[in-house]
Amino acid sequence: MTAGSQVVSSEARPASGPVAVSRSPHASLRPLRLGEVQITGGLWGDRQRLNREVLLPGAARHLEAAGNFDNLRAAAGHGSAPFRGPVFMDSDVYKWLEALGWELGRDDGEGLVRLADDAISLVAEAQDRDGYLNSYYQVAQPAARWSNLAHDHELYCAGHLIQAAVAHARGRGDERLLHVARRFADHIERVFIGSDRPGTPGHPEIEMALVELFRESEERRYLELAGYFVDQRGHRLLGPGHFGASYFQDEIPVREATTVRGHAVRALYLAAGVTDIYLETGETDLLAAIEAQWRDMTAAKLYLTGGLGAHHQDEAFGDPFELPPDRCYGETCAAIASVMWNWRMLLATGKARYADLLERTLYNGFLAGVALDGSGFSYVNPLQVREQHHDPVERGARRQAWYDVACCPPNVMRLLASLQHYLISTDGEGVQVHQYAPARVACGVADGRRVAFEMLTEYPWQGSVTLQIEEAPSERWTLSLRIPEWAGDASVVVNGEPVQVDPGAGYTRVARVWRAGDLVELDLPMPARLTEPHPRIDAVRGCVAIERGPLVYCTEKIDQPAQVGIDDLGIDPSAPLRADRVQQPLHGAIAVKAEGVQAPAGSWPRSGPYGDYRPAGAASELERVELTAIPYALWGNRGDGAMRVWIPIRS
C-alpha cells in the first residue's frame, strides 16, 4: 500500500457485497459475503480480467482528461481552474471508485490501490467543513446549494459517493471514504429533515445508497432519510421540466404508482431503492407497487435483449408495445439499473422470474455495453442499425472510448467488479444457484454450517453445468438450481441418479445429506430457436429473432455473403437452425446458421417507397442465401456496419 492508505476499520466481521441483507428482516434470500464466491474463468472471468487490467486503469486517464479530478482539486482549493463538464461530473469518479473498492476486495494490486488512495484523499480534501461535497456548486455556484434538485444531481452524486464508500469499507476494510460519506449524509439530513425542507432528488440513486449506509452503520436515521425522499416524490415538487412530472416519476406517489414511466434509469434506480426500503421495513404497499411496476415493464416495455427505454429524446419508457428496434435507446445504465433492481426483488421474494430477467439483461443488454478489447463503451444499444446509417452525433451506432456524459463506462466497471455477488444466495434451508459460471463457492448455511463446491461450465455457450461438492455438513440441506424459462428440456442428475425437474417451478430443489465428492450434473439443452414478438409491437410485426440459451442473436453485414444486404434479408422459419463455433476475434462464441432469403435486385419496381398493393402471388421470386447470426452482445467488434435482431419472415 502507498503511504496513508492504511486500513482504519476496527470492526472484524465478514464483509458483505453491494446489497447486504443478511440482517434484513424481510429478505427471503441472503447473498453471499465477500470472498465466499469467486468467478474462476469463462466469459465473466474474461470480462472481470479486462475490467481490472484495461477498463479501470483506462478510466483514470479519461477522468483526468475530462476534468473530473480537476473539478475536485478546485473544490479542495488546489488552483482556480473553472468547473468543466456537466454538473454531475463527481458521480463518474464515485462509480469508478466503487468499482475499485469491489475489485480490490477480490484481489489486491499495488497499481489500483494507488489510484484508489489518491482519489480518496482528493475527495476528502474537497469536502467542506459542514460536510457538503459537490464540486460543481463548490466551484461554480457556492451560494446556490440545493437550489435545483430537479436537474443538478446533488443528491444523485451523494448517492454514488455513499456507494463507493461502502464498497471500500466492505471490500478493503478501509473506512476513510465512509467517514466522508457519513459527514455528507449527516449534512443532507440536517438540510432536509432538520429544517423540515421538502424535496426529493430529480435523479433517484441516493435512496438505495442511504439504505446501504444504514446497513453498514446500523444508524436507522439513514433508512428514515431514504424513506423521506421516497415519500416526498409524487407531489410535483420537481416542477414540470421539459418532459413533465412523469419524467421524474413525480406525478403520483410511489405507493400508488403501478406503471413504469419517465426516464428509464431514474425509474429503475428508484424501484431498486424502494425495494431496499421494503426489505428493511416490510411495508407491503411498497412491495405491491413495485411488483405492479415490474409486471407493467415486462409485459409491454421490455426489449428482447432486456434493454429498457424506447425514447432518445427523454431517455424514457414509451407507450405499451412501443419498442422500435432501430430507435431503441436501451441505455447501458438502464440495463445495469435493471440488474440491481431484479437482484433486490429476487432477494425479497425468492421468485425465479427476477433471476431470469437478470440473466437476460446481463448476457444481452448489459454485455453489449463494452467492446471485447475494452476500447469502447455503448451508451445506447439499438436492435437495428441500417446499412446507410450515418449520424455522427448519435449515441448507439458505434461504441466510443468515453463520453461527455460518461455515466455508462464507470457503471459497467462497478457491475463487472461485483458480478460474483449476483450468482448465489442462501436461506434457512440451503444454497440457491441463480446464475451459472465457472466459480468456487465456500459459504455458511443455517447455524453456521459450511458448504463448499466448485461449479464447472462453458455457459452460456454450452448448457452443461457440473457442481462438485467439496465440503458439506452432516445434516440435510437443500441445493436449489434455477431452471431458466427458456430451458424446457432441462435435466438434473445427482451421482448418476436422475432427479425430477419441474420446468415451471423456476428451481429444482434437491434436499439430502450431501457428502464431499457428490456430483451434480445439470443439463440445459440449447437448441437455437426462433422467437416471435407480440402482435402489437408494430415495428417488428412479421419478424422473428434468433435465440440460443440465454443469448439473443443478431445478423451483422460482415458475416453475410457480399451480395446480401441486411435490410433486404429475410428468414425461412421452416428451415433448420445450426450452431457453429466462431474463432477469433469473437473469442470462441457460438454462431447460428440459418436459411435466409432476399429479394433480387430491382424487385421493387417503383421509384419511391410506396406503391399499389400486390397480392402475394405476384411477388418476385426470392433468392436463397445462408444467413449467419452472432450473439447480440458481440456486435460491432469488427468495425462499423449494419446489424439487426428482428428478421422478416419470408418463405
Quote the CA–CA distance of 341 and 289 in Å, as a whole number. 14
Q: Answer whether 289's CB lies under 8 Å from 321's CB.
A: no
Q: How far apart are CA 245 and CA 438, in angstroms?
A: 45
Active site residue 157: no
Question: Going by C-beta distance under 8 Å and a sequence separation of 6 or more, which residues neighbour residue 423?
Answer: 37, 39, 433, 434, 435, 437, 439
CA 518 remoteness from chain centre = 34
Helix and strand numbers (H, E) in the chain are 15, 22
The burial of 125, by beta-carbon neighbours within 10 Å (0-12 exposed, 13-18 middle, 19 or more buried), is given as middle
Report the distance separating Cα 537 and Cα 534, nearest Å. 6
Distances (CA, A) of 56 to 63, 104, 398: 11, 11, 21
**557: nearest Cα among 651, 630, 461, 650:** 630
What is the rounded CA–CA span in Å between residue 147 and residue 142? 11
What are the residues whose beta carbons fall under 8 Å from the beta carbon of 497, sequence distance 6 or more?
none
User: 258 and 296 in contact (C-beta within 8 Å)?
Assistant: yes
103, 315, 331, 595: the active-site residue: 315
Torsion (CA) 643, 646, 650, 651 in degrees, nearest 10: 110
Query: Which position among 333, 407, 408, 443 bears the catalytic label?
Result: 407
Grid coordinates representing 39 are 468467478
Measured between alpha carbons, how far is 202 from 238 in angstroms, rounded to an integer? 7
Residue 63 grid cell: 477522468
Of 342, 367, 370, 372, which Cα lies nearest the Cα of 356?
A: 342
Q: Are 424 and 37 in contact (CB under 8 A)?
A: yes
Measuring CA to CA, which residue among 152, 132, 148 is closest to residue 75?
Answer: 132
Q: Is 315 one of the annotated active-site residues of the chain?
A: yes
Q: What is the CA radius of gyration of the chain?
A: 25
Amino acid identity, position 595: E
Coil, strand or helix at 151: coil
Strand pairing of 477-482 and 430-433?
parallel
For residue 19, what is its C-alpha cell?
A: 446489497
CB-CB contact of 91 with 157 (8 Å): yes
The CA distance from 126 to 574, in Å, is 64
Residues with catalytic roles: 315, 407
